[in-house]
Amino acid sequence: MMSKRKGLMAAGISAAFVSSAALGGLTQPAVVDVDLANNFAQGDMRTARNAPNDTEFIGCGMRDIEDGAGGIFSFAFCQAEDAAGERAFCNTTNGQLIEAMRATSDFSFVTFSWQDDGAGNNVCNRIGFSTQSFYLPDTTDPVDDDDDDDDDDD
């Protein structure tokens, strides 16, 4: 009787692990879309990175540089390219947009828009991020953390 209970318990635990792996949660890939007619780009970093092509990317960056007079000059930019090869880039020195950009994290959904400043520069006028569980990588996928290439066990 005791071994039957242990067998049922082991089967139940195994079923729980199998069902939790099968129910990994909602995913919502958002491919990169660059709309040059409407000065708009969006997509999520994970989907761009795992795209089946070598062109898609999206993201934003910031730079803080000493200005030589005791202050800091800050600027930021966003850039994207979709599978069709449409590419967007904008930059900003707007402190509020830069602060909004600091809220991004790995695997975020990114959206931005821009306007021409009249001198041919695309100035960011809207930047948004969404960091939610459905943009994260699937943790049920096996990950190879072994950086050691030799097969020695010693």
User: For 23-32, which contacts have Cβ atoms below 8 Å and span 24 or more sequence positions?
Assistant: 24/138, 24/139, 24/140, 25/133, 25/134, 26/133, 26/134, 27/134, 27/138, 28/134, 28/135, 30/109, 30/135, 31/56, 31/82, 31/83, 32/56, 32/57, 32/58, 32/80, 32/81, 32/82, 32/83
Would residue 61 count as lying in a domain? yes
pTM of the entire predicted model: 0.70
Torsion over CA of 130, 131, 133 and 134, rounded to 10 degrees?
40
- pLDDT < 70: residue spans in the chain: 1-24, 133-154
Q: What is the mean pLDDT of the chain?
A: 78
H or E element: which one contains 92? strand 87-92
Would residue 141 count as lying in a domain? no
C-alpha closest to that of 128 among 102, 107, 101, 105: 101
- Residue 95 sits in a domain whose CATH number is 2.40.50
Would residue 9 count as lying in a domain? no
Would residue 12 count as lying in a domain? no
Would residue 77 count as lying in a domain? yes
Domain tally, the chain? 1
pLDDT of residue 104: 75
Phi first, then psi: what are they for 133, rounded to 5°? -60, -30
User: Which whole-number Å values give the CA distances from 109 to 16, 37, 39, 69, 83, in the listed order?
Assistant: 31, 21, 17, 37, 17
Would residue 152 count as lying in a domain? no
User: CA geometry: angle at 72 spanning 66 and 73, to 5°?
Assistant: 95
Would residue 149 count as lying in a domain? no
What residue numbers bound the domain in which 39 lies?
33-135
- Convert the pLDDT of each residue in 65-107 to its tens digit: 999 999 999 999 999 999 999 999 999 999 999 988 887 777 7
Would residue 58 count as lying in a domain? yes
Single-letter amino acid, residue 89: F
Quote the CA–CA distance of 29 and 31 in Å, as a whole number: 6
